[in-house]
Structure 1
Amino acid sequence: MEPIRVLIVDDHALFAEALAARLGREPDLVILPIAADVRRALALAATERPRVLVLDMTLGAENGLDVLDRIREEHPDVRVVVLTAMSDLDAMVRAVRRGAVGWLEKTESAELVARVIRSAARQGGWIPPDALGEVLRRLTRDGGEPSGALLAELTPREREVLQCMVDGLGRAEIAERLGLSANTVRTHTQNLLAKLGLHSALEAITLAMRAGMRPGG
């Protein structure tokens, strides 16, 4: 596969440089120059074409959400993974609602960070398992109840894949349940995300739950 281009946005130079050095040992990751502020992050996103942006929530006097908003507006194909010292559920929900596809605390291992980056690059995402249920509950509660018209645009197979996602299955598990190849599941996932105008599995699960889909449905 094509190497994943990764942009780290963090104003803590020592941490950012150590993370870049560690991730740089992964053969499938290309680590771009580090950005310490919003201006530099946007400039590098425009010139270096990252696939995944690893974002701290605090950048000196600036808020990481400002970077998230601008990236989603100017570079919608860039996948944003938050890597922060914060463990605030409200901040986590705000970040996901504004387009982040992953949330990690800085106490996590570099191995997990690398895995989440790979997942994000492949249209996946990651929320801490102990917070996922509450994050989805808040997103569903705050988002209101949609008509379900968007889901009507999906093919029966895409709806099956979406139901498996709501059930908490990964790509390999979905493939096994539906008797499909992993590549076919990936294609169906990409197609349903495109039809729904979404960027991550987490967003798709949230929309599906708002429309009435439930685990085991």
Structure 2
Amino acid sequence: MQPTRVLIVDDHALFAEALSARLGREPDLVVLPVAAAGRQALSLAATERPHVVLLDLDLGPENGLDVLARLRERHPDVRVVVLTAADGVDTIVRCVRRGAVGFLSKTERAERVAGVVRHAARRGGWIPPDLLGDVLRRLLSGRPEPDGADRLLADLTPREREVLQCMVDGLNRAEIADRLGLSANTVRTHTQNLLAKLDLHSALEAITLAMRAGMRPSEDP
């Protein structure tokens, strides 16, 4: 059988390199050069012709959902499996609606990832069994994706949502950096990006919009 060509899209270099090395030991998988950004992923998808793409949703300033949509639009035959730290029914539903055929947590064992890649290449899919029922109910209900303020927040990356939640919790930049294990400069970048996506000019506006969309201060910040 033809080996399955796999493209990893992840800006976390250590994780991506470790996953690439591990999957590269599978005799039926060919791991392509890692893409650290959406534009690079689209370029490699065009030149390397992967069968399966493993896509992280948190790509720094980029929205992984937008990258997913562009991949599916330009390369409809490519099977996209989301491999990310984010979880939850809402996230999975948004991914499926944009064309993902699988969803995996980064905490999954490499053997599971390899198995899902093979299944995806054979036109199969994978949703975590404990969430599958809720995901199917949401998809079958025909309920549209969020709109208004809630729809705007849906365009944020998982990390940007974490930063926004910290802002709702009343944390300043240094406190956000400490809670999330980031540098102050990285927090500033995420803050600037989320403000730009929401077309806002201040943290107060962002907090107001977030609370209109249903975000509330954490019970145990």
TM-score (norm 2): 0.64
CA deviations on 1:101-121 (whole Å, 9 max, x unpaired) are 000000000000000000000
1:14-163 matches, within 5 Å, as 14-142=14-142
Alpha-carbon distance in structure 1 between the residues aligned to 2:25 and 2:67: 27
Letter in 1 for 2:35: A
Letter in 2 for 1:138: R
Structure label with greater radius of gyration: 2
Letter in 2 for 1:21: A
Identify unmatched segments of 5+ residues in structure 1.
Answer: 145-217
Letter in 2 for 1:75: H
Alpha-carbon distance in structure 2 between the residues aligned to 1:118 and 1:94: 23
Superposed displacement of residue 88, structure 1: 2.3
Identify unmatched segments of 5+ residues in structure 2.
Answer: 145-221
Superposed displacement of residue 87, structure 1: 1.2
CA deviations on 1:138-177 (whole Å, 9 max, x unpaired) are 0001269xxxxxxxxxxxxxxxxxxxxxxxxxxxxxxxxx
Query: What do you get for the CA RMSD once the two structures are aligned?
Result: 1.0
Superposed displacement of residue 89, structure 1: 1.4
| 1:208 paired residue number | none
Determine what percentage of the aligned residue pairs are the same residue. Answer: 72
TM-score (norm 1): 0.65
Superposed displacement of residue 129, structure 1: 0.2
Alpha-carbon distance in structure 2 between the residues aligned to 1:143 and 1:27: 42
Letter in 2 for 1:64: G
| 2:13 paired residue number | 13
Alpha-carbon distance in structure 2 between the residues aligned to 1:113 and 1:55: 12
Alpha-carbon distance in structure 1 between the residues aligned to 2:67 and 2:121: 19
SS of 2:142's equivalent? helix
Aligned length: 144
Moved over 3 A (4+): none
SS of 2:70's equivalent? helix
SS of 1:20's equivalent? helix
